Structure formats: C-alpha cells, structure tokens
Amino acid sequence: MANGAQSGLRKVNQEQNTEYKKVLTFVIFLIVMLGMVTVTFLNPFFMKGQIRTSNNEAVVVRQINRHFDALAEAIGANKSDNANLLTSKQTQPIADHVIDYTLGIHWFKFSNFNLAEQILHDIELNIDQGASSDAQLVQEKLKKQKQNAPYDVITAFNLNSITVGANLALMLLIVNIILVIVTVMSLQSLISDMKTVMGTKLLVHDVTAAGMWAGFWLILLAGLLALIPVVFNVDGFAVLGYLFEIGSSVFLDFVIVGVVVYILSAIPWEITSPNN
C-alpha cells in the first residue's frame, strides 16, 4: 500500500514537472521573441543600419524607385527606359525619413503631410546635375506642381499606408512592453512556485531544459521565416513582401540568438543532470 502511494506520488510529481517545463518553455520563448522584435523591427536605429547592408540596400533602391516611377507618371514625367532613376545615395535619405516617421518616438499619427515635404526636400537636395536626365525632369516637374507636389508624393509613395504602419508599430511596441513585463512577472512567480516543490539542482535543471527548448523553437521559427523570401516570390505582396525581404536577414539574427540561448542553457543543464 505504501509503495503504491509512493509510486502515485512520483507519477504526480513527474506530470507536474512536465507541465512546469512546458509553461517555462513558452514563457522564456515569449520573452526572448518579444525582446528581439522590440530591439530590431521596432528600433529605428537598428533598421536604418539594416537597410544599409549589401542585400537590403538593393531591396530599398528597388522599392523606392517603384514609388518614384509612380510619381513620375503621376506628374507627366515618364522615363524613357526601365533603369532605376534614383541611386542608392539618393534613395537612402528617403528610406531614413520613412523609418523615422514609422518607428521613431511618436504618438498615433493622423497626417503624413510633413513626411511628404521631407521626401520632396530629399528629392530636391539629392538630385543634382550628376543625376539621370529622367530624374532631373521629375524634379523640374515637381517644382511646377508647387502646392500640389506633396499630395502627388502622398499618392505615389502610398504614404497613407505608411501612416497606418506607423500606428500599428506604436500599438505593437506598447503591447510588446506590456507582454514582456507580464511574462517576466509570470516567470518569477513560476520559479518561486517551483522552489516550494523541488531542490535547487532540479530547479536549475528544469529551467535550463526549458531554455534549451525555447532556443530550439526560436531557431526553427526564425529560420523558417528567414527562408520565406528565398523559397517564395514575395514581390507581389506589396508592403508585406518588402518587409519579408528586409526581415529575412533580421530573422537570421534571431536564429543566432536562439543558438546562444540554447548553448547557455545546455551547459548548466548538463552540469545539473541527475547523473552528475
């Protein structure tokens, strides 16, 4: 009878231990994932550096030239060939202003007129005598548009969608911060609860095991997301496709962080193994 009761107790403890690991894995994964999203995709300084990498620079030039082509068509300055009108040097300031508008410190936005004027200023400042004749023609036509020029830019560069994106980024940042705080508090509460039913060695073993699983899932998920623009043609998905192209290299950073989390968890997990 006593042996049966002890076996039952061990079974309950094992089931409880498994549940602890599952919850710990989810909480650790959530903290790491939300933290990474906050310091990468929602960080204007990081993203401005990211668009200057060799792979992403070509994506930025292509996307901004598409909008510039739409602007040229809207004001009657159609170009004569299929070459890019703007160079990397000319598109970079525009991309920086869009990132600052979207991810910079701000409250909810309802106007993009100032952004349109900044883009106009970038065009005027960076298109000089060394630029292509088609780009110079667009600049000349824009000057003739006078007060209508910002509205042409708003339409051609789809700035209304960028305004929506800026507000979504703010909402995501707020939600991320709240969730990180809540999950950290949940992690502390869970560990405190585990301390009451297990020793320090087993506690460290379970927490690091959960950390290894969290690192594994981060590697797997981020790796799959990084492969999307490689395996699929995302060019036709407008803004979403553009984000996937830029985000592909960022997700590789997530993979690296996942590997680091896995390795840092694996060492104490091995040390606290029951066999040691």
Separation between Cα atoms, residue 244 and residue 239, nearest integer Å: 9
Separation between Cα atoms, residue 24 and residue 145, nearest integer Å: 60
Here the tokens at position 165 are 């994106």
Here the tokens at position 3 are 């042996």
Q: Is the pLDDT of residue 42 over 50?
A: yes
Highest mean pLDDT among 171-180, 197-206, 227-236: 171-180
- 169: exposed, middle or buried (C-beta count within 10 Å: 0-12, 13-18, 19+)? middle
pLDDT attached to residue 171: 93
Query: CA 78 from chain center: how many Å?
Result: 35
- 14: exposed, middle or buried (C-beta count within 10 Å: 0-12, 13-18, 19+)? exposed
What does the pLDDT look like over 134-181, one tens digit per residue? Answer: 777 777 887 877 788 888 888 888 888 889 989 999 999 999 999 999
Helices (H) and strands (E) in the chain, counts: 10, 0
Separation between Cα atoms, residue 130 and residue 211, nearest integer Å: 55
Separation between Cα atoms, residue 168 and residue 172, nearest integer Å: 6
Residue 67 and residue 134 in contact, taking contact as beta carbons nearer than 8 Å = no
What does the pLDDT look like over 53-62, one tens digit per residue? Answer: 877 888 888 8
Q: How confident is the model at residue 234 (pLDDT cuts 50, 70, 90)?
A: low
pLDDT attached to residue 157: 86
Radius of gyration (C-alpha) of the chain in whole angstroms: 26
Least trusted range by pLDDT, from 87-91, 129-133, 253-257: 129-133
Residue 190 and residue 24 in contact, taking contact as beta carbons nearer than 8 Å = yes
pLDDT attached to residue 237: 61
Q: Is the pLDDT of residue 205 over 70?
A: yes
- One-character DSSP codes across 10-41: HHHHHHHHHHHHHHHHHHHHHHHHHHHHHHTT
Q: How confident is the model at residue 2 (pLDDT cuts 50, 70, 90)?
A: very low
pLDDT attached to residue 130: 63
Q: How confident is the model at residue 5 (pLDDT cuts 50, 70, 90)?
A: very low
- One-character DSSP codes across 126-141: H--TTS-HHHHHHHHH
Residue 86 and residue 61 in contact, taking contact as beta carbons nearer than 8 Å = yes
Q: Is the pLDDT of residue 22 over 70?
A: yes
CA nearest neighbour of 116 among 103, 128, 98: 98
Here the tokens at position 227 are 């492969």
- One-character DSSP codes across 198-214: S-HHHHHHHHHHHHHHH
165 residue type, one letter: G
Q: How many CB atoms lie within 10 A of CB 99?
A: 18
Residue 138 and residue 123 in contact, taking contact as beta carbons nearer than 8 Å = yes
Q: Is the pLDDT of residue 12 over 50?
A: no
Q: Which residue has the higher pLDDT, 9 or 231?
A: 231
What's the whole-number mean pLDDT along residues 178-187? Answer: 92
Separation between Cα atoms, residue 83 and residue 86, nearest integer Å: 9
pLDDT attached to residue 7: 40
What does the pLDDT look like over 208-220, one tens digit per residue? Answer: 999 999 999 999 9
Q: Is the pLDDT of residue 226 over 60?
A: yes
Separation between Cα atoms, residue 110 and residue 246, nearest integer Å: 26
